[in-house]
């Protein structure tokens, strides 16, 4: 690592804090989402230490850790560092100076890296434990973890979302079917209440808001849910209007954990001297398929292998082709089809867009993926940004989903949304047995 770059980064950070100029290019992060900005960066993961499928949440009080992994396909050694950026509940920028929500000067360099070996694709694998002991968030809230290169905090290579919770307002929750007969068998309702604890409110309807999140899919999240009334020291909500989600179904899967053995979901696997190609079996709409329970990763992916290698530095990359055949061989009118899940960063862009092939009468998309096990959906999106799983996947109340209930507090005159309550509720283990 270049010590001059590290010193340059710290000087730029200090100057930004003292004189107030922006540390990051605003064009990169307007929506506050997780994004990869450089084509050489792949397989970005940020998860609770010990499990690749547990979402990145840590308590403000400390103790829990996150693990960051990513590959640089340039295959050389670069100077990477990171900072935190506090965001509001809707992921808009918070009106706070960096020194007000972090300890330390920031810019810890990522010094744990290894060059790949044995793989066709050459890359450098980087990993870090978050937070660093010398640099951590000091406020509960939504955060972007921004990784930058060459000591320049404005040269962000990727950013990922994470949550820090100051858990002072406990949440109780349960999953039930909605009352409406048209959605009773296809949707899931989250019944929940939030204890006010010792916090004093002037107006809880104005000072609190809730975000409901299904399987870390922020595109389908319910934002700005407000309490209806206060009862027995707890905020009560109207779940029939604010907390009903399509049940979807268990995620589709891609097993590419081996370069030697072809799994049942693969139509073709070719390992050549200079590239690795995979074609997934053609998918179709599951709308008319009966519900079938099986264990999935709720949209996540795991970098893992069944071969006798160290997958982090010896796992290979493949060009993976996905094909979707719509009903009657006709494209969906007025909607765009996307490949959806952590494998595409839950994004709706040209990289995740399924392209219509009029000769074959199918949609197709190619991803460059590392050996592992991947969940995915096909999702339709209209011109207004509304997304629809029903036509491609179907909806069932019986589906296993994990929900996060996020409670934010901003006093009158406050400058950011503090995350003061968080609970996980599973649609199977937290279901009302009497329903």
CATH number at residue 216: 2.60.40
CB neighbour burial string for 173-208, b if at least 16 within 10 angstroms, e if fewer? bebbbbeeeebeebbbbbbbbbbbeeeeeeebeebb
Which range of residues forms the domain containing residue 405?
A: 171-247+398-426
From residue 41, alpha-carbon distances to 80, 106, 200 in Å are: 12, 22, 46
> For the residues 222-229, what does the mean pLDDT come to?
96
Same-domain status, 108 and 203: no
For residue 434, being part of any structural domain is answered with no
365 backbone φψ class: left, alpha, beta (φ>0; ψ -120 to 50): beta
> For the residues 308-332, what does the mean pLDDT come to?
96
Q: Does residue 14 or residue 371 have the better pLDDT?
A: 371
Q: Which of 165, 190, 220 is the last residue of a domain?
A: 165
| C-alpha 414: how far from chain center | 28
For residue 186, being part of any structural domain is answered with yes
> For the residues 85-112, what does the mean pLDDT come to?
94
Alpha helices in 209-268 (DSSP H): 239-242
Same-domain status, 150 and 15: yes
Same-domain status, 224 and 161: no
Same-domain status, 39 and 80: yes
pLDDT at 433: 38
Q: Beta-carbon neighbour count of residue 270 at 10 Å?
A: 11
For residue 270, being part of any structural domain is answered with yes
Total length of the chain? 435
Same-domain status, 272 and 317: yes
pLDDT at 30: 65
Q: Name the β-bridge partners of 276.
A: 271
Same-domain status, 414 and 377: no
- In tens, the pLDDT along 167-206 reads 999 999 999 999 988 999 999 999 999 999 888 899 999 9
Q: Name the β-bridge partners of 80.
A: 149
Same-domain status, 179 and 213: yes
From residue 244, alpha-carbon distances to 80, 135, 189, 190, 237 in Å are: 42, 39, 4, 7, 12
Residue the block writes with tokens 């050459």: 122
For residue 223, being part of any structural domain is answered with yes
> For the residues 346-354, what does the mean pLDDT come to?
97
From residue 60, alpha-carbon distances to 13, 64, 101 in Å are: 23, 9, 11
Same-domain status, 146 and 175: no
Nearest to 276 by CA among 258, 255, 253: 258
Contact between 272 and 317 (Cβ < 8 Å):
no
CA distance 287 to 202: 48
User: pTM here?
Assistant: 0.91
Nearest to 402 by CA among 372, 425, 385, 377: 425
For residue 273, being part of any structural domain is answered with yes
Look at residue 306 and tell me whether its pLDDT is greater than 90. yes
Q: How many domains does the chain have?
A: 3
Q: Which two tokens stand for residue 326?
A: 């719509």
Q: Which of 165, 187, 203 is the last residue of a domain?
A: 165
For residue 181, being part of any structural domain is answered with yes
Look at residue 23 and tell me whether its pLDDT is greater than 50. no
Q: Beta-carbon neighbour count of residue 96 at 10 Å?
A: 17
Same-domain status, 355 and 419: no
Same-domain status, 203 and 337: no
CA distance 30 to 143: 14
Average pLDDT, the chain: 92
Residue the block writes with tokens 């808001």: 209
Same-domain status, 203 and 261: no
For residue 229, being part of any structural domain is answered with yes
CA distance 68 to 129: 6
The four Cα atoms 247, 394, 322, 217 give a dihedral, to 10 degrees, of -20
Q: Which of 133, 165, 197 is the last residue of a domain?
A: 165
> For the residues 132-143, what does the mean pLDDT come to?
96
For residue 122, being part of any structural domain is answered with yes
Same-domain status, 380 and 281: yes
């Amino acid at each position: 690592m270049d010590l001059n770059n590290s010193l340059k980064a710290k000087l730029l950070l200090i100057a930004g804090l003292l004189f107030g100029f922006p540390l990051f290019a605003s064009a990169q992060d307007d929506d506050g989402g997780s994004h990869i900005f450089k084509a050489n960066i792949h397989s970005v993961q940020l998860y609770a230490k010990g499990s690749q499928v547990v979402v990145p949440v840590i308590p403000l009080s400390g103790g829990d850790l996150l693990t960051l992994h990513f590959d640089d396909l340039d295959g050389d050694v670069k100077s990477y560092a990171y900072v935190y950026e506090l965001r509001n509940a809707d992921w808009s920028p918070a009106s706070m100076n960096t020194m007000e929500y972090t300890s330390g000067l920031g810019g810890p360099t990522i010094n744990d890296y290894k060059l790949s070996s044995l793989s066709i694709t050459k890359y450098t694998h980087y990993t870090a434990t978050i937070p660093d002991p010398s640099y951590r968030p000091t406020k509960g809230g939504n955060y972007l973890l921004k990784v930058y290169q060459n000591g320049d905090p404005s040269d962000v290579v990727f950013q990922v979302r994470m949550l820090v919770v100051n858990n002072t307002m406990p949440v109780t929750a349960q999953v039930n079917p909605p009352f409406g007969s048209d959605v009773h068998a296809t949707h899931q309702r989250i019944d929940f209440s939030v204890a006010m604890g010792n916090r004093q409110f002037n107006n809880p309807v104005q000072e609190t808001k809730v975000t409901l999140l299904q399987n870390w899919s922020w595109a389908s999240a319910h934002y700005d849910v407000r309490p209806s009334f206060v009862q027995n020291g707890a905020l009560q909500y109207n779940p029939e209007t604010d907390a009903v989600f399509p049940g979807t179904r268990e995620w589709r899967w891609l097993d590419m954990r081996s370069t030697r053995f072809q799994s049942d979901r693969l139509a073709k696997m070719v390992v050549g001297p200079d590239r690795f190609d995979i074609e997934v079996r053609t998918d179709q709409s599951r709308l008319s398929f009966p519900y079938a329970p099986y264990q999935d990763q709720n949209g996540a992916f795991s970098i893992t292998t069944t071969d006798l290698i160290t997958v982090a530095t010896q796992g290979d990359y493949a060009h993976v082709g996905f094909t979707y055949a719509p009903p009657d061989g006709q494209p969906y009118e007025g909607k765009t089809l996307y490949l959806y899940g952590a494998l595409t960063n839950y994004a709706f862009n040209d990289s995740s867009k399924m392209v219509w092939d009029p000769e074959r009468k199918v949609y197709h998309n190619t991803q460059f993926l590392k050996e592992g096990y991947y969940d995915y959906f096909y999702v339709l999106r209209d011109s207004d940004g509304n997304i629809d799983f029903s036509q491609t996947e179907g909806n069932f109340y019986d589906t296993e989903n994990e929900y996060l209930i996020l409670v934010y507090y901003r006093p009158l005159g406050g400058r950011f949304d503090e995350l003061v309550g968080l609970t996980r509720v599973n649609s199977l283990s937290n279901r009302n047995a009497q329903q």
